Chains A and B, each alone.
Chain A
Amino acid sequence: MATQFKIDGLKASIEGKEILKGINLEIKGGEIHAIMGPNGTGKSTLASALMGHPKYEVTDGEVILDGEDVLEMAVDERARAGLFLAMQYPSEITGVTNSDFLRSAINARREEGNEISLIKFIRQMESKMKELEMNPEFAHRYLNEGFSGGEKKRNEILQMMMIDPKIVVLDEIDSGLDIDALKIVANGVNSMRSEERGFLIITHYQRLLDYIKPDFVHVMMQGRIVKSGGPELAERLESEGYDWVKEELGIVDETVGQA
């Protein structure tokens, strides 16, 4: 069965301040959705709330992945159910090597006694790292420690490729990437496109969407999706900016929760 991911009336707040004011979105396996919008409109909050970041409190709505209530799950259960978030600011963890971490993540999805063999794991990781043009040495480096912005982003994509999730949320994966790195990351994402997998790409620039063609584009303002369309919407936003959307909808300040 193709993946079905449904966000229905999702509201979330941080420190008592409501940021998401009712998000509705449906993603099916094989589809790529892009959420665009200026800074401070709630895009990253959506990503964090979906994954279950402890700082965000979901106050209303539901999120269903293949019939399962995501919001009832702990963060690790969401991940094992098939949700993956490539983070804008991944944590650095001293003393935990990239490969130990990845192997733990893969084994967390397997029964005890059925862990991935070391050889198979290394072979897989090496081939994916090659695809992402990562220095093999990064396997033995401590997780994200001392990585440049671009290296961290590649490492997020590496994890996505190794974990093989059903729904992938990419939060500002293009920020801090030069054009070559952007292409490599986009190739990584494109290689993962399949009928079983849905993508939600959060970005404020069109340029990523030149390399990863979305099926649907949504504009987010004031904690809501205010406009949806096809790829042509992204192109118009790129050439004309967001003012016309604001004008059309009578929005003066597009941000949300900015004190």
Chain B
Amino acid sequence: MTTQLSTPVNRQMTEALSLAKGEPDWLAALRAKGADLAETLEWPKPEKVRIDRWNLTALGSHKAEQPLASIEELPEALRELSADAPAGFVVQRNSTAVFKQLSPELQAKGVIFTDLETAAREHGELVQKYLFQAVAQDENKLTAIHSAIWNGGVFLYVPKNVEVELPLQALFYSDDAAAAFAPRVLVVAENNSRVTYVDNVVSAYADGGQTLAKQSIIEVIVKPGASVRYATVHHMADNIIDLSIRRAIIDNDGRMEWIVGDLHDGHVLSDTQSYLKGNGSNSDAKAISIGTNAQQMSLTTGAVHWGRSSESNMVTRAVMKDQASAIINGITKIEKGATKANGVQMEKVLMLSPKSRGDANPILLIDEDDVKAGHAASVGQVNPEQVYYLMSRGISKQDAERLIIHGFLAPVVSEIPIEAVQKQLQRLLERKLEG
């Protein structure tokens, strides 16, 4: 019998990890600091979801994988997910970055797109400058542990005034539930640059594997006038606990766009926030989720306004089936001094089963008078009037409900920036809805 420690990392482990990976000293020191912090900090406590009852310490152990010579070596099902990825592509398998590619055009423009481990070695100064700036090591036990154990990941750096037309893509997959899976993504968009990044987080083994707590932390630094679009689709098997923290810091006139598809089959903690530090900064977050079986989900989108005339918009749509439960929080916070700020949010939940649960909690925290803010939330079932209307045109009840459910999610799905990803999302939606 093994005993699970409440803190499954320590200094010896991280030092061994850094040594094995040949990491620079500054990084080894940060990992060790994370391990120390993890011992004293508490797990985050999201509203009404007892994540402390999840097996959060089943982090797996570091395992090295062989690099891929080309994308062709990926399993067919995984290769399809990202289509051609002509601009750039990074692949992580379990604990290891196994493939990276960036078009020569983008390399020539000074764009960096590689795994974060490589970046820490090759672009140490840049990485060191921004790592943990959006999500600090010492926020809680999750951020501390992740700062100690993270692996693979992505570093995306877009120089000043560079506009990247095609999306850069990443694929993170787990096919060994005993291996640690903790990608960390760091995106830095310099002044007036523009980029779209899309990742898929998937598993590639049959259900029923041992529990694995997968952590990922995403940091996005949006410099003045820059624009970053970040789309992410999560769909792993139900043995995986998905803990994802995403955060952007947005400078003057910068723009951040989040598209989050939480279509995972296991428990989910998904927290996506924009820190609108700059005047005239702007953030838009769209999230969809489908809950099935006995899944528990804590889904949060947030926007914190410091900048004057900053704007945020958040839309979450969730469909709940079976006994799944989701607590959906929308948090708009406007700090004193953020005059003329405008924050709008809307959470909608569609319940397809009497045993499912969906709570929508819009939260407005406003410390400034001269602002606009709005929220709307609804939890409901498929509207019988709508079903009647569609049926009155000859459409079967089943098809009518299917159209309405897809329509409910469409405002988010239609925003996915890559056609292949959009189609894949559609397929996943079908699978989760029909399954």
Contact = CB atoms under 8 A, between A and B. Distances in A.
A85 B404 CA distance: 20
Interface of A: 51-54, 74-76, 78-80, 84-85, 87, 90-91, 93-96, 100-101, 104-105, 108-109, 142-143, 159, 163
B388 A54 contact: yes
Interface string B370-410: 00000000000001111011111111110110011011111
A136 B65 CA distance: 54
A91 B385 contact: yes
Contacts, number: 81
B397 A109 contact: no
Interface of chain A, main secondary structure:
mixed
B159 interface: no
Contacts of B390: 93, 101, 104-105
Contacts of B392: 51-52, 75-76, 78-79, 84-85, 87
B411 interface: yes
Contacts of A105: 390, 393-395
A104 B394 CA distance: 9
B383 A91 contact: yes
B261 to A, nearest CB: 15
A90 B389 contact: yes
A167 B315 CA distance: 43
Contacts of B385: 91
Contacts of B409: 95
A93 B391 contact: no
A33 B329 CA distance: 55
B393 A159 contact: yes
B388 A53 contact: yes
A143 to B, nearest CB: 8
A119 B384 CA distance: 32
- 3 closest residue pairs by CB, A with B: A95-B407, A95-B410, A79-B394
A90 B385 CA distance: 9
Contact of A80 (B384, B394, B397, B403): B394
A84 B393 CA distance: 7
A248 B319 CA distance: 58
A95 B411 contact: yes
B386 A93 contact: yes
A94 B394 contact: no
Contacts of B388: 52-54, 75, 91
B406 A96 contact: yes
A96 B384 CA distance: 16
A76 B401 CA distance: 13
23 contacts: A74-B391, A75-B388, A76-B394, A79-B393, A79-B394, A79-B395, A84-B392, A85-B392, A90-B389, A91-B385, A91-B388, A93-B386, A93-B390, A94-B408, A95-B409, A95-B410, A95-B411, A96-B410, A104-B399, A108-B395, A108-B399, A143-B407, A163-B393
Given A54-B384, A75-B388, A101-B403, A95 B393 contact: no
A91 B395 CA distance: 15
A87 B394 contact: no
A85 B389 CA distance: 10
A93 B396 contact: no
Nearest to A92: B386
A51 B387 CA distance: 13
Contacts of A142: 407
A87 B396 contact: no
B381 to A, nearest CB: 14
Nearest to B413: A95
A100 B391 contact: no
Contact of B395 (A53, A95, A104): A104
B220 to A, nearest CB: 28
A227 to B, nearest CB: 29
A194 to B, nearest CB: 20
A93 B389 contact: yes
A145 to B, nearest CB: 10
A53 B389 CA distance: 9
A243 to B, nearest CB: 36
Given A101-B403, A104-B399, A104-B403, 13 more contacts: A74-B397, A79-B391, A91-B383, A93-B386, A93-B390, A93-B403, A94-B407, A95-B404, A96-B407, A96-B410, A101-B390, A105-B394, A108-B393
A211 to B, nearest CB: 25
B68 to A, nearest CB: 38
A87 B408 contact: no
Contacts of B394: 76, 79-80, 105, 108-109, 163
A101 B406 CA distance: 12
A79 B395 CA distance: 8
Nearest to A162: B393
Contacts of A53: 388
B407 A76 contact: no
The residue among A74, A85, A90, A108 with the most chain B CB atoms within 10 A of its own CB is A108
Contacts of A75: 388, 391-392
Contacts of A85: 392
Given A75-B391, A76-B391, A108 B396 contact: yes
A4 B58 CA distance: 70
Nearest to B402: A104
Contact of A76 (B383, B384, B396): B396
A94 B411 contact: yes
The residue among B393, B397, B411 with the most chain A CB atoms within 10 A of its own CB is B393
Contacts of A96: 403-404, 406-407, 410
Nearest to A86: B392
A112 B388 CA distance: 23
Contacts of B383: 91
Contacts of B395: 76, 79, 104-105, 108
A111 to B, nearest CB: 14
